[in-house]
Amino acid sequence: MFVASNKALYLLPLVLLSLVLGISGGWIRLGSLVAPISEAGIHHGLIMTGGFLGTLISIERAMVMEKKAWLIIPLLTGTSVIGFLSGHASIGFVLLMSGSVGLSLIMHLQTLRHPKFHTALLYGGAASWFVGNFLAWQTGLIAAGSTWWIGFLLFTIVGERLELSQFLPVPAWSKNALKTLLAIFTLGLIIPFHTWGNEIMGISSFLIAGWLLIFDMAKVASRKPGQFRYIGIGLRVGYVWLGLHGLILLGLENHALYYDLMLHTFFLGFTFSMIWAHAPIIFPTIFGIRETPYHSVLWITWFGFQGSLLGRILASLSGEVALRKIFGVANGYLILVHFILMAGIVFWKIRQSKKEHPDSNPSHPEELKIDTPLHPRV
């Protein structure tokens, strides 16, 4: 059931608005006018990375803080979408940069409180987000910020995987190897993209994907039934997408759709696979619910999402523009349907819970706050 005092729920409409507008902008860029909102097409990357993903991550990290006034940070990033849609891109950029500075401040405080490698990595991710936003604003080129946004999400996701598995036994040499690979990836961000930067990012991304496939606890979860298998397989497929992203960075620089392939193997293949897999763990915590958004019916849209994305990538590689458009539009619909299904599952579980335990509502909503060792309040 929902926590009555969970203010993060009030930010959910902004997250969903950003998702819908970001997807509609992607359709426009594919040449499909399913939802002809020109500003959404122009600012597609900013809306998806900042308005949707950045806001979602900022909510998660703000909920760890003791004072919920920190939720002003995802409010800033969520409302940036309004600036971009209304034709006031400068306002949208100011809101995004302010939000990314705020997330960096949150991670600075969390790193001081919990000085571990995974918190430092999350801090680096927040800082990378600000750098990407600043470069895109300063140059007027989304491409100038996109590689730093990749760094933002890679550091954040790897940091969260390390956070969730921090108590599992992992060889010390492997931890040092991962730190080295992440340092090399950072070097690739700093070096200009079309000199050696893309190759360095590609090599390190491919090897980081290999490290996650070997050492992350997802390989254990994927052998278990039910929700654990859904999480484990989802994570491991995401790591495969990350590896493919690395190979594209390395070997397809001369392809006509190189930039598109590089971005969407990461932002769709890797990042959305991580969202689907983490949802049963993270969403109950940040939105204050007991019910997890998992049911076996999710496999239908999960396979549809992965298949349509693979079709889009293969069509792009072979130059089949019409097929690329068909698969791309289908991929966007499947993302929306998957989120709708998750919401429906949660509401269905809440209803079932009320039927089975009609008198279980606590008189004090604060009793339902989730404060786990993985997300200690600061």
**The pLDDT value given to residue 370:** 38
- Separation of alpha carbons 180 and 187, rounded Å: 11
Nearest to 85 by CA among 39, 50, 44: 39
Residues in the chain: 378
Sequence-ordered list of residues with C-beta below 8 angstroms from that of 116, at least 6 positions apart, any chain: 166
Please give the chain's pLDDT, 378 residues, in tens. Answer: 334 347 778 899 999 999 999 999 999 999 988 778 889 999 999 999 999 999 999 999 998 888 889 999 999 999 999 999 999 999 999 999 999 999 999 999 999 999 999 999 999 999 999 999 999 999 999 999 999 999 999 999 999 999 888 777 788 899 999 999 999 999 999 999 889 999 999 999 999 999 999 999 898 888 899 999 999 999 999 999 999 999 999 999 999 999 999 999 999 999 999 999 999 988 887 777 788 999 999 999 999 999 999 999 999 999 999 999 999 999 999 999 999 999 999 999 888 878 777 765 543 433 334 344 345 444
**The pLDDT value given to residue 93:** 97
215 token code pair:
């050492």
**The pLDDT value given to residue 359:** 62
Beta-bridged to residue 43, according to DSSP, are none
Cα–Cα distances in angstroms (integers) from residue 367 to residues 1, 10, 67, 349, 378, in the given order: 12, 20, 17, 19, 18
**The pLDDT value given to residue 2:** 39
- Separation of alpha carbons 205 and 207, rounded Å: 5
**The pLDDT value given to residue 291:** 85
**The pLDDT value given to residue 281:** 87
> What is the 8-class DSSP label of residue 319?
T
pTM, entire model: 0.91
DSSP 3-state of 2: strand
Sequence-ordered list of residues with C-beta below 8 angstroms from that of 198, at least 6 positions apart, any chain: 188, 249, 250, 253, 262
DSSP 3-state of 289: strand
The Cα angle at residue 189 between residues 187 and 195, in degrees rounded to 5: 90
DSSP 3-state of 216: coil
Spatial contact of 83 and 95, defined as CB atoms under 8 Å apart = yes
**The pLDDT value given to residue 66:** 86
Sequence-ordered list of residues with C-beta below 8 angstroms from that of 121, at least 6 positions apart, any chain: 155, 156, 158, 159, 162, 182
Domain boundaries, the chain: 218-353
Secondary structure (DSSP) of 29-52: HHT--SS--HHHHHTHHHIIIIII
Spatial contact of 212 and 158, defined as CB atoms under 8 Å apart = yes
